[in-house]
């Protein structure tokens, strides 16, 4: 009985959490709402949660954190225009994703349209393979639907692992010895290079072509 009551209370608290974080933000205290929004985004992985966390971070004056959250929202939903627009408002450089490169070609493979096309393609091709009285139209319909959704799906899959991140705070680009080379402002977009961190630093590539290292906690 006690467990049931505890579980009910916990559930009630969880239900009220979004309202509480919204309240702090709505009352002009985004700094207080930001940790909750970040925790929600990290557990939910939904693009709109990252987007709201980015907006809250920007409102709190944390430009670096805002850029990181908005880039995470872009990776989660590369077809959505909102993160791109907000990054542009903040004046943050944006990496060009595969979805951007494909343009309209990626549209059928995004969102619910892709799911509908997938159902059509699967049903048509499955029926074409097994039915007794085969119709060539089934094959055509299935192939067209499959081809329509494929570019957007592949682009979204590639964009999900996009290596671009943002510096969380004002930091320094370091050389291999750990000596500062150049200052980097919070919110600078960097590209993580493959490889394990070494001596507490990660290898990064800047948009202007230079490579160097950053302290582990300075980028996300």
Partner 1 sequence: MTLPSLLVWLCLASASAGDATLTLPDPLAVGVEQAASITVRDPGSPVVRLTLPNVDGVTWGEPQARGSQTTIINGVRSDSSKIAVPITCNREPGPLTMPEITLHLKSGGKLTTAPVTVTVSKPDPRLQGDGLVEAFFEPNTVVPGQPAALVLRVQVRSNQELTPGIAPPPEAVSLGEVASTTSTTVGADGADWFVQTWRWPIAVTTPGTFTVQGQQGILVATGRADFFGRQQAVRRQLPIRPASITVAALPAEGRPEDFTGLVGELRAEIRLDRDRIPAGEGAQLLLTVTGRQLDLLRAPKLAPPPGVQAYPRPSEDAANNRTFKWDLVPTAPGDYRLPGFSFPWFDPATRTYRRTATNELTLTVLPGRARTLTGGGSLQLGAEPAPQAAVAATLPPPLREAAPSRPPSWLALSALLGSLVLGGVLGLVQRWLTRPAAARHRGRDLLAAAERADLAGVAAALHALRGATLSEDQRSALASLDAVVERCRFGGEPAPPDLVARCRSFGDLA
- Convert residues 78-117 into a mask of x (bound to partner 1 by CB under 8 A) and - (unbound): --x-x--xx--xxx-x---------------x-xx-xx-x
If you search the block for the tokens 């682009």, which residue do you land on? 155
Cα→Cα distances 206→21, 27, 165, Å: 35, 38, 10
Strands 164-166 and 189-192: antiparallel
**Strand segments (E) across 114-179:** 164-166, 171-174
Q: How far apart are CA 188 and CA 93, in angstroms?
A: 7
Nearest to 140 by CA among 126, 153, 121: 121
Site for partner 1 in 10-69 (CB under 8 A): 18, 22, 25, 46-48, 51-52, 55-56, 58-59, 61, 63
Among 41, 77, 148, 202, indicate the residue that binds partner 1 (CB under 8 A): 77
**Rounded least distance, CB 213 to partner 1, Å:** 12
**Rounded least distance, CB 89 to partner 1, Å:** 6
Among 65, 168, 172, 202, indicate the residue that binds partner 1 (CB under 8 A): 172
**Rounded least distance, CB 84 to partner 1, Å:** 12
């Amino acid at each position: 009985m006690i467990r049931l009551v505890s579980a009910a209370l916990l559930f009630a608290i969880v239900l009220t959490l979004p309202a509480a974080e919204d309240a702090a933000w709505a009352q002009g205290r985004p700094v207080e709402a930001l940790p909750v929004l970040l925790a929600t985004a990290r557990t939910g992985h939904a693009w709109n949660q990252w987007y709201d966390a980015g907006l809250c971070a920007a409102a709190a004056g944390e430009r670096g954190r805002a850029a990181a959250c908005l880039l995470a929202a872009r990776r989660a939903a590369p077809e959505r225009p909102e993160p791109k627009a907000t990054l542009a408002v903040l004046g943050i450089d944006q990496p060009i994703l595969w979805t951007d490169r494909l343009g309209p070609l990626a549209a059928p493979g995004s969102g619910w349209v892709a799911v509908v096309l997938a159902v059509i393609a699967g049903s048509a091709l499955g029926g074409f393979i097994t039915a007794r009285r085969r119709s060539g139209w089934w094959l055509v319909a299935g192939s067209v639907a499959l081809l329509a959704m494929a570019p957007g799906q592949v682009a979204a899959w590639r964009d999900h692992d996009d290596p671009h991140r943002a510096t969380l705070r004002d930091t320094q680009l370091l050389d291999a010895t750990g000596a500062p080379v150049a200052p980097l402002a919070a919110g600078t977009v960097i590209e993580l290079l493959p490889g394990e961190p070494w001596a507490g630093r990660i290898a990064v590539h800047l948009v202007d072509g230079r490579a160097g290292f950053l302290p582990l906690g300075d980028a996300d």
